[in-house]
């Protein structure tokens, strides 16, 4: 199982949230998405697809689970089943989030980052990549491990 954990560190009270759905795959925390059409009959739910690596990711999935249904859940398993709605956040200047280090391999403090492999997490931005944020710290969280802190 791949770890996927997102912590929202700084989010505007006016942040624009979107309800998104993948029809055939689970949606993982830290997945950048491209928005598609509205789901027929539901004007609050939008079809989404994975963003391309190196692209200017504009929307990132950060699911919220209020009750896992049991006490010994794995906090690094943040995902939403295919066909179910997930929360996604439109990226705006000043947003700051932390993501598990496994979803941002090889990045270090001061690196400019872009959308990672398969649209998940981050990678160091190359010359031809869209720079969407900067790594400002490496943090740690009990039961999760190392976190990469990114400011957009």
Q: Nearest CA to 128 among 112, 106, 109?
A: 112
Q: Where are the beta strands (DSSP E) in the chain?
A: 6-10, 17-21, 27-28, 33-39, 42-50, 59-61, 79-80, 86-90, 96-100, 112-115, 122-124, 133-141, 145-151
Rounded to whole angstroms, the Cα distance separating 31 from 122 reads 9
Please state whether beta strands 112-115 and 96-100 pair in parallel, antiparallel, or not at all (unpaired): unpaired
> Residue 55: its pLDDT value, please?
94
Rounded to whole angstroms, the Cα distance separating 21 from 31 reads 12
pLDDT lower than 50: segments of the chain: none
> Residue 78: its pLDDT value, please?
81
pTM: predicted TM-score of the whole model, two decimal places: 0.90
> Residue 140: its pLDDT value, please?
95
> Residue 31: its pLDDT value, please?
95
User: Could you tell me the two tokens for 57?
Assistant: 């990711």
Q: Cα torsion at 84, 32, 94, 96 (round to 10°)?
A: 80
> Residue 34: its pLDDT value, please?
95
> Residue 67: its pLDDT value, please?
57
> Residue 86: its pLDDT value, please?
92
The residues, ordered by sequence, that sit 6+ positions from 122 with a Cβ below 8 Å of its Cβ are 99, 103, 104, 107, 113, 114, 115, 116, 133, 135, 148, 150
Residue 42 CA, distance from chain mean position: 23
> Residue 149: its pLDDT value, please?
98
Q: Nearest CA to 112 among 139, 99, 130?
A: 130
- Residue for token digits 């504009």? 58
């Amino acid at each position: 199982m791949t770890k996927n954990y997102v912590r929202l560190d700084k989010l505007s009270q006016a942040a624009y949230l979107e309800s998104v759905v993948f029809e055939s795959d689970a949606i993982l925390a830290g997945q950048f998405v491209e928005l598609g059409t509205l789901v027929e009959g539901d004007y609050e739910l939008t079809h989404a697809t994975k963003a391309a690596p190196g692209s200017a990711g504009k929307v990132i999935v950060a699911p919220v689970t209020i009750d896992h249904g049991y006490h010994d859940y794995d906090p690094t398993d943040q995902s939403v089943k295919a066909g179910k709605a997930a929360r996604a956040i439109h990226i705006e200047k000043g947003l700051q989030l932390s993501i598990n280090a496994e979803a941002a391999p090889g990045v270090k403090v001061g690196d400019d980052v872009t959308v990672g492999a398969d649209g998940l997490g981050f990678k160091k931005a190359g010359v031809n990549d869209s720079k969407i944020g900067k790594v400002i710290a490496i943090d740690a969280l009990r039961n999760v491990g190392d976190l990469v802190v990114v400011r957009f």
